[in-house]
Structure 1
Amino acid sequence: MERSLTVDRVLRGELCTGCGLCASVAGPAIGMEVVPPGYNRPRQAAPISDEAEQVIAQTCPGAVVTPWSKDEQIDPCWGPWRQVLTGHATDETVRYEGSSGGVLTALLIHALATGLVDRVIHVRADPHSPTRNIITCSRTAEEVLTGAGSRYTGSSPLAGIDQALSQGGAIAFVGKPCDVSALRSFATLDPRVDQHVRLMLSFFCGGMPSHDGVLRILAKLGVEPQEVAAFRYRGQGWPGTAAATTHDGRVEKMSYAASWGDHLSKEVQFRCKICPDAVGGAADIACADAWYGDERGYPSFAEQDGRSLILARTEVGERLLADASGAAVISTQAIDIGEIGLMQPAQANRKRLVRARVAALSTMFQPRPQMRGTLVERASKEASARDKLRNFLGALRRIATNNK
């Protein structure tokens, strides 16, 4: 096959998440590159086989979203669940370095220590370009801790998954919800995934900003990109600060409310605005910020000790949580699933409006991902008619003006 019809359609519809799975499936025929305004995107340089195209068509999260499991309890906004908890890492360094309570980092360290996995595939800062990301393979607690904290810019953690699976062993994979969705779909076609990926972890995602978002932060901080020796998007406290460290030792910081609210959130790619599963519904465990509400009922971003929201979605995830709790690696408290909406109101609102936004794509004959099994219709019933109409018309306007 000369061209991947799936990749072309996904790119044309601005539905690409940048996960990199197509590049892994197609080998050297497809590579990942950074395109303006700073998103990771595939570029096809040679013909691909019909077999590779079939795999891409069935796994690309811009084409199809993995249906949520029906084996567990399920909520239209929060997905499948066995346990809903809040908690934090008991190691104060892990808790401090993480983006919320450090639970994901603590679980990964515990999985390595107990032999559940022998390595972790995750994201960390690129040492040569600190505002960008690289995919790394960690085998020690120290290496995992180096990658703690959110990284709000492009990453393609599945671009090397074929090679990772070929190496065998027992893998823990950490990625965005769309990355985990793609890997779950890939598992239905490649038995090596279930054989070697023993653990899939994710988090609630507010959307993937372009790299221009961090450039806006640097400009506001008065730091030139070439001056940056290290860059932290979050962490070292909860919610922590964005922090640029220059080669001469200067450190400039910006609050989370300002870095995300004023800059990064304005650069989120279009696919994220219609995401039916921004809560890691296909993961074994998904974590998020367990925000405390302020006097108005909105999440407070005041600095305090980190607290994670934890959803165990599978038997594998439930067992890991029980083992980590028993070993006093994490401290947890069970909560009712209804409390999540108080901690993550923006996520609930976005899920309820996905159907209205996707309807605009259909109206304008634009490509859209298959979303069957993610309860988009059920979630939509919880939104007001006014909000759905406003989002439908807004999406129509963006499509018509090519301003997705």
Structure 2
Amino acid sequence: MSKIMSFDEMYTKVVDGKYSFGTGSWAVASPHITMKLNEYGEYQPELKESANLPSEKELKAMQDSCLSLSEKNESDVAEKAFSNIPDIKFDNRIGFYSGLYIGHVTEGKFRENGSSGGFGTWIFKELLERGKIDGVIQVKESTENSKLFEYGISNSLEQICTSAKTRYYPVELSEVINKIKNTDGNYAIIGLPSYIMETRLLSDVFPQLKKRIKFMIGLICGHQKSTKFAEFLAWQCGINPGNLQRINFRKKMKDGNASDYAIEVTGLVNGKSQTIVRRMRDLIGSDWGQGIFKISASDFTDDVMNETADVTLGDAWLPEYVKDSKGNNVIIVRNPVIKEIIEDGIKNSKISVTRVNVEKVFSSQAAHFRHTQRELAYRLYKKEKAKMWVPQKRVVASNDFPWIRKRIQDKREEICKKVPLIYAKAVNKNDIMYFETRMAKLSKSYKNLYTIKGIQDKIKKELKLK
């Protein structure tokens, strides 16, 4: 067992080192910690005013429940949760699985109202109707003016359906998890890999959480965003920073591919509330690979497929599915109760899915795997070469990558570091063009690297043909 770190040591490594995912786990582990949005729109833990330092017991809980500090990795947690399930299978890319599917919900308006195939909300509905849960811990629109979204508890199907959209926006779990610690009932939770993993770790620290959180629904997502991503999208639509009231990040468009969605923003324009719809492809920020307003910690996870979740849901980014503007889900099932729900849904024609193999699931997220898992080795190498502390990951540091792939990683890191600083100056100047001009230079140099890569790939192909 590793020694218990001091609060200052823990904070320096995780928060100052930018390895904090902002989940709120520390504020669950210690009542002396609170979660606040910093000047760049990222959640970070802070010591409450006039609060004592966390006790040794609390420090241990903070360390044990933190993804960047815990002695347990995703493989350890998944092994404990799923390895004893009958007929469970394992693949080192996607983790444990008992069923792999691609498709959508045909029952009701779950697909129409969801971001892709509608499975998240539909699974919650089935769990609720079968008496498996009393409520769902999910991201909802916030009632506070200082933020757009927050985690809350939904106790009815109507409440669950109201919050059935993808949110590219930071949220934290401490407030709602602290309620669950003191509230009887059975719950399901939905979240990104870091949130599900740290909820698992918290459940090992606090037995009441393990008892009450019965199901964990995982989402696939390339990286986490700061609040400034939503703010900047709205600014491009004519809604100045501070005036955004609502945003739908994934408004489906009937005349395009599943990837050709729009954003819908509502906010004050010249003192009057207006709703504006713009296609995402027409806005700066649509290139997910560039990662503008990305939380830095996102580049130091190796969990693509949310391996500790009972079921993982993602977009089916495959040629045969992306043409369907209504959207389809990739589904990785691990929990036998959810497997039964899926199979019953097939029998009762509530869902339309195809059973697929691991390769098909992998292909749906191939670019995500390359950046998150494979090329993490290079990012770790850079940190270690600079003699900087890095969290222990399942990927081994390496410099053994083609020159062009390393330069792409370097440019993504540069964009991640520079964008928040440039944007802060643009807001201070009240000048969106200040940001757009400087972002255009970063974007051009990024795209130039892909042009070089394309030429290299073409030459390699031609040489092979000879």
1:316-362 alpha-carbon deviations (Å, 9 max, x no partner): 44234334445544332201110123322221212211122122222
Local SS of the residue matching 2:120? helix
Deviation at 1:170, TM superposition (A): 0.3
Q: Does the 8 Å contact 1:25/1:52 carry over to 2?
A: yes
Q: Structure 2 CA distance, aligned partners of 1:20 and 1:227?
A: 27
- Aligned partner of 2:302 in structure 1 is 276
Deviation at 1:207, TM superposition (A): 0.7
- Aligned partner of 1:241 in structure 2 is 262
- The match for 2:248 among 226, 232, 236 is 232
Counterparts of 1:45-64 in structure 2 under 5 Å? 45=48, 46=51, 47-64=53-70
Q: Structure 2 CA distance, aligned partners of 1:249 and 1:51?
A: 49
1:33 aligns with 2:44: no
Q: Does the 8 Å contact 2:28/2:177 carry over to 1?
A: yes
- Aligned partner of 1:19 in structure 2 is 23
Q: Structure 2 CA distance, aligned partners of 1:314 and 1:369?
A: 29
Counterparts of 1:120-135 in structure 2 under 5 Å? 120-129=136-145, 132-135=148-151
1:229-276 alpha-carbon deviations (Å, 9 max, x no partner): 421111445453211124656322232445552489311111101211
1:293 aligns with 2:319: yes
- Aligned partner of 2:363 in structure 1 is 342
- Aligned partner of 1:332 in structure 2 is 353
Q: Structure 2 CA distance, aligned partners of 1:81 and 1:395?
A: 35
- The match for 1:66 among 73, 97, 111 is 73
Q: Structure 1 CA distance, aligned partners of 2:58 and 2:387?
A: 27
Q: Structure 2 CA distance, aligned partners of 1:257 and 1:339?
A: 26
Q: Does the 8 Å contact 1:130/1:230 carry over to 2?
A: no
- Aligned partner of 1:193 in structure 2 is 209
1:371 aligns with 2:374: no
Counterparts of 1:139-158 in structure 2 under 5 Å? 139-158=155-174
Local SS of the residue matching 1:261? coil
Q: Structure 2 CA distance, aligned partners of 1:124 and 1:258?
A: 27
- The match for 2:123 among 93, 103, 107 is 107
Matched residue type, 1:250:
Q
Q: Structure 2 CA distance, aligned partners of 1:180 and 1:391?
A: 32
Q: Does the 8 Å contact 2:251/2:264 carry over to 1?
A: no
1:8 aligns with 2:12: yes
Deviation at 1:39, TM superposition (A): 0.5
- Aligned partner of 2:383 in structure 1 is 361
**TM score, norm. by length of structure 1:** 0.86
Which ranges of structure 2 fall in alignment gaps of 5 or more residues?
421-466
- Aligned partner of 1:119 in structure 2 is 135
Which ranges of structure 1 fall in alignment gaps of 5 or more residues?
none
Local SS of the residue matching 1:188? helix
Count of residues in Structure 1 that have an aligned counterpart in Structure 2: 391
Deviation at 1:129, TM superposition (A): 4.1
Q: Does the 8 Å contact 2:152/2:176 carry over to 1?
A: no
1:250 aligns with 2:274: yes
Cα 1:199–1:82 change in 2 (3 A) is same
Q: Structure 2 CA distance, aligned partners of 1:14 and 1:199?
A: 29
RMSD: 3.1
Cα 1:196–1:186 change in 2 (3 A) is same
Q: Structure 1 CA distance, aligned partners of 2:146 and 2:91?
A: 38
Local SS of the residue matching 2:35? strand
**TM score, norm. by length of structure 2:** 0.76
Higher-RCO chain (CA-CA 8 Å, sequence separation at least 6) = 1
Matched residue type, 1:367:
W
Matched residue type, 1:269:
I
Matched residue type, 1:221:
C
Q: Structure 2 CA distance, aligned partners of 1:13 and 1:395?
A: 19
Q: Structure 1 CA distance, aligned partners of 2:407 and 2:177?
A: 36
- The match for 1:309 among 306, 327, 330 is 330
Local SS of the residue matching 1:368? coil
Deviation at 1:32, TM superposition (A): 0.5
Between 240-249 and 114-123, report the one with greater CA deviation.
240-249
Cα 1:56–1:224 change in 2 (3 A) is same
Q: Does the 8 Å contact 1:10/1:367 carry over to 2?
A: no
Q: Structure 1 CA distance, aligned partners of 2:377 and 2:338?
A: 29
Q: Does the 8 Å contact 1:32/1:41 carry over to 2?
A: yes
Q: Does the 8 Å contact 1:364/1:396 carry over to 2?
A: no
